[in-house]
Amino acid sequence: MTTSNQQAVKQYISALAFLIIIYSSASTAQEEAAPAATPAPKPMPTITVGGRIMMDAAAYDSDDADLSSGTEFRRLRLFAKGEVAEDWGYKVQYDFTGDGAEGIRDAYIKYTGLSDIAVLRIGNSSLPGSMEDYGSSKYMTFMERGLPVLAFGPSPRRIGVAADSSGDSWSAVAGVYGEDPATDETEDDSNTVALRLTCAPVNGEASALHFGVHGQYREMGGREEARFRARPEAHVDDTRLIDSGTISNVNGYATYGVEVAWVGGPFSLQGEYIGVNVDRDTDCSINMDGFYIYGSVFLTGESRNYDASSGLFGRVRPKNSLGDGGKGAWEIGARFSTVDMNDEVGRGEAEDVTLGLNWYATSRVRFMVNYVNADLDGNDAVPDMDADIVQLRAQVDF
């Protein structure tokens, strides 16, 4: 474990203790304020405290790249959310694996008074993007997102205004954003508009058919450079096998994608295509793309939990948790993903095959094992590279 990880643990424990004290004080105050005999309006403000801990270990084997095995806290987060008045809420979330402002995740005001199906968020929040990226890391089938999502589709949290709306079988999210809180303000901010639309013509208790599209356009402001790269679906080592390098004279770039997912009892399939068009202040624009597809099955009969109102997957609930006399839920999965950076930037084509085994001891405690075979088909500019990776994760959220 690195020194920065050790410091993050100390800060996490201190912050958790502080939030518990605040939460306990708020709960006591509400109980004292509430009349015993007559119903009363819900006391304000309210607070809910939670977080997640994800601990990873990874072993790398490669004759072509210098990759370091090791351990890390992949995520170490705390959040507080609640309401301050009718229709007005908030959420603050911090990841202690970040440094200073880099650790700020959610930090926004929420307003729900527009209509019964609309929510407005003002502040730092996730940009609507691909299904795998916009969804929570707590519920991913594999330890890391697929190659094209890592390279092109990351939805970093940025400061802006976003509106969500949804129905029983559809969802829509749109927003306008500036930069993230950690950006060095030496240049004019970039500006991004983002949109995600989904529908689910099939949406049952253990069945779903999902379709979605998403798009973003980022105008670069005073930052006229862009770069697209990805680790080989493992995070402990910082090496990116696929890397566009720094692209100069960039006016902006558009990211777009389509997504499909299907659930039938214990079986599920999911896939996405993501493309990028980089608009440059030259005669040559740049196009790159990639896709992933994966399948999974629960050996113990559970199903992936799909929510049509968000177009995302949520918490898996074992039929028999370990503490209730059962053995939890067991899931296996296989994924193929690829990214092509050959055409305009000449940086090769990467392909990953990932195999995964998940054990959900309870709905909030999970252990994961992933094997990744990562292959970079190089060219004159970049050499061929191949790596085999075995990684483990223990996670809990509360």
Q: Closest Cα to residue 153, out of 292, 54, 347?
A: 292
pTM of this structure: 0.90
Beta strand ranges found along 133-184 (DSSP E): 157-166, 170-177
% of residues, the chain, pLDDT over 90? 77
Q: Is 308 helix (H, G, I), strand (E, B) or coil?
A: coil
What is the token pair recorded at 356? 């995964």
The 10s digit of each residue's pLDDT in 309-360 is: 999 999 999 999 998 889 999 999 999 999 999 877 788 999 999 999 999 9
- The tens digit of pLDDT for each residue in 369-391 reads 999 999 999 887 788 999 999 99
Q: How far apart are CA 302 and CA 326, in angstroms?
A: 13
Q: Average per-residue pLDDT in the chain?
A: 91
Query: Tell me, what's the pLDDT at 351?
Result: 98
Tell me what the mean pLDDT of segment 298-317 comes to: 97
Q: Are 386 and 280 in contact (CB under 8 A)?
A: no
What is the pLDDT at residue 40? 66
pLDDT, one tens digit per residue, over 133-175 is: 999 999 999 999 999 999 998 667 999 999 999 999 999 999 9
Q: What are 293's two structure tokens?
A: 């597809």
pLDDT in tens, 78-103: 999 999 999 999 999 999 999 899 99
Q: What is the pLDDT of residue 16?
A: 65
Show the domains of the chain with their CATH numbers. Answer: 3-397 (2.40.160.10)
What's the pLDDT at 15? 66
User: Can you give the pLDDT at residue 29?
Assistant: 47
DSSP state of 103: G
CB 234 within 8 A of CB 60: yes
